[in-house]
Chains A and B, each alone.
Chain A
Amino acid sequence: MSAMFFGQYLLERGVIDRDALLDALARQRSRNRSLPQLAVREGLLTESDANAVELAYRTVLAPMDELLMSVGGLTPDTVERLEVMQRADWIRIGAALVEGGHLEPDHVERHLREFASQTVEVEESLRERFATLPSPRVVEACVELALHHVSRLTDAPAKMALLETPHALAAPAEVRRSSQRITGDASFVIVIDLPPAIGNLAAGRLVGSAVAAGGDEEADALREVVNLVGGHTCTELEAAGLRLRPEPPRSDVPPDTASGARSVVRAGCATGDGRFDVWVLLE
């Protein structure tokens, strides 16, 4: 997962500067409309109905065209006409940069290829397992990014071995716990429970030198690990239409989490010869 949009990728590499990116984003924002927004513009849906469709899109795993028909009451022909209109107007960030004279088309193509090669293919079978859960997009992003970062920091492949929906978050016995609440269009808490040995290894690898087991430095580094997972989850879910923002990370769970969680998902994961848990508490 790249957890980064193409414009930022170009900015980080110094291919474009801040003014170029702002100009391209402004071009996108003035042109690109979601299908419900277009339906409102064309007098096919009320604002209220369009909001209901947008909300459904964010919270259920269904394509937008289906929701426009099932929730918005539009016919297949009308939806198809809207899609044609959307494609005609839509401008991607690369095209917006070319239009603004900030990049040449062949440069965009080359950087797009490099950008795409950094993304990681997601296993289809895993997607199917997530699809059975409440808020599957949210849970999938959290777990995959936790796997990615733990694997990166422990220098060992990490895989999900178990996915379940227990009644409650387990007490943090013999684990190094870190958590981060995400709020906005959805509200959830990501909790990562690492066994002491894996926690210490990950913390030391993050900092670049050994850290004392169970100490403040280790806890601080593990908060940064969940902060990476949380921040990247927000970025990943932005592509699904969710506007999210992380709160500062913690070494426990936010005090009001236990009473506020409507669903608890636990992903039991394995890395090297150790196991760890990623919890997603949907609020």
Chain B
Amino acid sequence: MTRRRVMTVDDSAAILTIIAAYLEDSEFEVVASERDGRRAVERFREVEPDIVLLDLIMPGQSGMETLSQILAIDPEACVIIVSSLGTEDAVHECLATGARSFLRKPFKRDDFLSFLRKLDVAEQPS
């Protein structure tokens, strides 16, 4: 099985740990984790992940800025916003900018994997 390569971006080490644990023994593999938006953009160029899980509220460069910069590198990048903020305004802004979907924290492992699988199936060419 070829595992889908995931990059996680969140200023919280706790969230990075949780996501890594959730993806263990699944068809998804964490290939990079970053706690800073600017560094995440550099790492995106280096590792070219299949999926980016991106936090919205981060110190320094925000998730929205990071999203725009990643999409400027690769307009087809599959970026999923993972945030505790679920306002209609925020969801709309992220999706309209080009995020593929929006997942609200917190989430359980089964729900998280199910969400990724559904999205990933939709992304794969038939």
The residues of A with any CB-CB pair to B shorter than 8 Å are: 3-5, 7-8, 11-14, 17-18, 21-22, 25, 152, 203, 206-208, 217, 220-221, 223-224, 227-228, 230-232, 234-235, 238, 243-249
In the assembly, what is the distance between CA of A152 and CA of B83, in Å? 18
Closest 10 CB pairs of A and B: A231-B84, A14-B118, A231-B85, A221-B14, A248-B59, A235-B86, A224-B12, A238-B87, A228-B84, A220-B13
Known contacts A17-B122, A18-B101; is A207 also within 8 Å of B84 by CB? Answer: no
CA separation between A11 and B21, bound complex, in Å? 24
Q: Is the CB of B58 within 8 A of A3?
A: no
**B95: which of A18, A221, A247 is its contact (CB, 8 Å)?**
A18
B40 to chain A, nearest CB (A): 15
Which residues of chain B from 98 to 119 have any CB-CB distance to chain A below 8 Å in the complex? Answer: 99-106, 111, 114-115, 118-119
Q: At the interface, yes or no: B18 with Cβ under 8 Å from chain A? A: yes
Partner of B92 from the list A12, A25, A152, A206 (CB cut-off 8 Å) is A25
Q: A232 touches which one: B11, B18, B58, B84 (CB < 8 A)? A: B84
For chain B residues 39-84, which have a beta carbon within 8 Å of chain A? 57-59, 83-84
A residues near B101, Cβ cutoff 8 Å: 11-12, 17-18
The answer to whether A208 touches B17, judged by C-beta atoms less than 8 angstroms apart, is yes
Q: Once the chains are docked, how many angstroms separate the CA of A227 from the CA of B21?
A: 20
B89 at the interface (CB under 8 A from A): yes
Our pick among A5, A14, A220, A223 for the contact of B88 (Cβ within 8 Å) is A5
Query: How far is it, in angstroms, between the C-alpha of A244 and the C-alpha of B87 when the chains are bound?
Result: 9
- Name 7 extra pairs, CB < 8 A, besides A18-B100, A22-B96, A235-B86: A7-B91, A11-B91, A11-B101, A14-B119, A22-B92, A22-B95, A207-B18
- Establish whether residues B11 and A248, one from each chain, have CB atoms under 8 Å apart when the complex forms: yes
Complex Cα spacing A208 to B93, Å: 32
B31 contacts A by Cβ under 8 Å: no
Please pick, from B12, B13, B102, B111, the residue contacting A11 in the complex, using a CB distance under 8 A: B102
Q: Find out whether the CB atom of A224 lies under 8 angstroms from the CB atom of B15.
A: yes
**21 A-B interface contacts by CB (under 8 A):** A3-B86, A3-B104, A5-B88, A11-B101, A12-B103, A13-B115, A17-B101, A22-B96, A203-B14, A208-B17, A208-B21, A217-B14, A220-B13, A227-B57, A227-B84, A231-B57, A235-B86, A238-B88, A238-B89, A245-B57, A249-B57
Q: Is the CB of B104 within 8 A of A12?
A: yes
Q: Is the interface of A mostly helix, strand, loop or mixed?
A: helix
Bound: A230/B57 CA distance, A = 11
> A245 with B85: in contact, given A7-B91, A228-B105 (CB under 8 Å)?
yes
A224 to B119, CA, bound (A): 26
Q: Which residues of B contact A224 (CB under 8 A)?
A: 12, 14-15
Q: Residue A247 contacts which of B57, B103, B111 (CB distance < 8 angstroms)? A: B57
Residue numbers in B under 8 Å from A231 (CB-CB): 57, 83-86, 104-105
Closest Cβ–Cβ distance, residue A247 to chain B (whole Å)? 7
- Minimum C-beta distance from B63 to chain A (A): 11
Output the residue of B17, B87, B92, B111 with the most chain A CB within 10 A.
B87
Tell me, in angstroms, the Cα distance from A224 to B114 when the chains sit together. 23
Among A4, A206, A245, A247, which residue has its beta carbon within 8 angstroms of that of B86? A4
A13 to B110, CA, bound (A): 12
